[in-house]
Amino acid sequence: MYQPDQPDQPDQPDQPDLLDQTTVGQTTVGQMVADYAGGASLAAVGAAHGVPWWIVRSRLRERGVLPRARPGRRYPADPEWWARQLEPRKVDGVWLRGDLARLAERFGVTTQAIRRRLALMGVEHRREAVVPDPHCAPEEFDRWVTTATQPEGDCLRWVFARRPYPYPTVRHDGDQRPVHHLVWARHHGALPPGQEVSHVAGCVHSDCLNPHHLVAMTPRARLDGLVSQGVFPHGDKHWWAKLSHDQAVAILESRASAADEARRMGVSPSTVRAIRSGRRWKHLQR
């Protein structure tokens, strides 16, 4: 279908960036970015526009503007450089990954400042110990244990993160293994079937790697040992306990029915029956 020629339309002016028009106090984000790009500090930009400096920093981050380093601290701007610094390296016979203390000492700042810089640059950081080769010499493995632990009395406590598992773990032979299992295998050989590594009586630290504090036992014996040491909460010290020690004893000594005793104690009849049958509060004398 024929359409007549349309008259030339004048060029439309570029639409302003809506984020530039966002107002903060009596100013706009675009003005803040321009002032900061001109060399003004965060505090100076905030004072000029009547807002706190952290508001300026937040708005700059929304625009993708990376805050400059403080005067006298020249951080490299290349994220790949930071990633290379976090690669595993060997220190005193121990392989460490993501050691921030060395970077903090180099730039004269705290490790928290280095963490913030890594977060701003999008560099992932995870500090962990790297276990030596499974077939390394015993001396190298002992040096690794010495460097990865800190003495506390007779115990050698793990210095790296151990969450969420209560025992410290490392990646070994392609699998996540408890560190005290590796120490046991190095000093005592393979673990007997049906047994697991635990700590001797008197050692209450689950992150202790002293080979003389490790012993192989059955899971039942390990649990009984934890209860006897007071490490494993039981009775009225358990986080789910609804009854006190005296109330549990009263249930055992009572001749009332389970329903009547449950109403008196404020629990369910099944709880009363479980206590009397020995399925709950097993440590009480019956």
pLDDT at 273: 92
Q: How would you write the pLDDT of the chain (286 residues) with one tens digit per residue?
A: 444 454 454 454 444 444 444 555 446 788 888 888 888 888 888 888 888 888 888 888 888 887 776 655 567 777 788 777 776 665 555 555 556 767 777 777 777 788 787 887 777 765 555 666 656 777 778 887 877 788 888 888 887 766 556 688 877 776 778 888 888 888 888 888 888 888 887 787 888 889 899 999 888 888 777 777 666 777 887 777 889 889 999 999 998 999 999 999 999 999 999 999 888 887 776 5
The pLDDT score that the predictor gives to residue 257 is 92
Query: Quick check: is 1 in a domain?
Result: no
φ, ψ for residue 172 (rounded to 5)? -140, 125
pLDDT 10s digits, 148-203: 788 888 888 887 766 556 688 877 776 778 888 888 888 888 888 888 888 887 78
Report pLDDT digits (tens) over 51-73.
888 888 888 888 888 777 665 55
Cβ neighbours of residue 160 closer than 8 Å, sequence gap 6 or more: 127, 128, 129, 148, 168
Torsion of CA 215, 217, 219, 221, to 10 degrees: -100
Is residue 223, in this structure, part of any structural domain at all?
A: yes
- Same domain (yes/no): 113, 188: no
Please check whether residues 103 and 47 belong to one and the same domain: no
In the DSSP assignment, the letter for residue 7 is P
One-letter identity of residue 218: T
Domain extent for 53: 23-62
Of 32, 62, 92, which closes a domain?
Answer: 62
Same domain, 126 and 209: no
Residue listed under structure tokens 């028009």: 21
Q: Is residue 46 part of a domain?
A: yes
Determine the pLDDT at residue 175: 76
Residue 257 included in any domain? yes
Read off the tokens for 66: 């990376």
Structure tokens at 24: 């903060």
Verify that 212 and 154 share a domain, yes or no: yes
- Let me know whether 194 and 273 are in one domain: no
Instruction: Give dist(CA 116, CA 119) in Å, integer.
Output: 5
* Inside any domain, residue 13: no
With CA atoms as reference, report the closest residue to 28 among 1, 59, 5.
59
What is the domain count for the chain?
A: 4
Distance (Å, whole) CA 251 – CA 244? 11
Give the per-residue pLDDT at 259: 92
Tell me, yes or no, if the pTM score tops 0.75: no
pLDDT at 142: 81
Q: Are residues 42 and 95 in the same domain?
A: no
Q: Which amino acid is at 31?
A: Q
Regarding whether 144 and 126 lie in a shared domain, the answer is: no
Q: Report if residue 285 sits inside a domain.
A: no
Indicate whether 143 and 215 sit together in one domain: yes
- 188 and 224 in a single domain? The answer is yes
Residue 237 belongs to a domain: no
Residue 50 inside a domain? The answer is yes
Same domain (yes/no): 151, 200: yes
Please tell me whether residues 179 and 158 are part of one structural domain.
yes
Q: Which tokens in the block code for residue 79? A: 């994220």
pLDDT at 13: 46
CATH code of residue 203:
3.90.75
pLDDT at 263: 92
Residue 163: both structure tokens together? 């969450």
What integer pLDDT is reported at residue 16 of this predicted model? 44
Domain identity same for 249 and 207: no
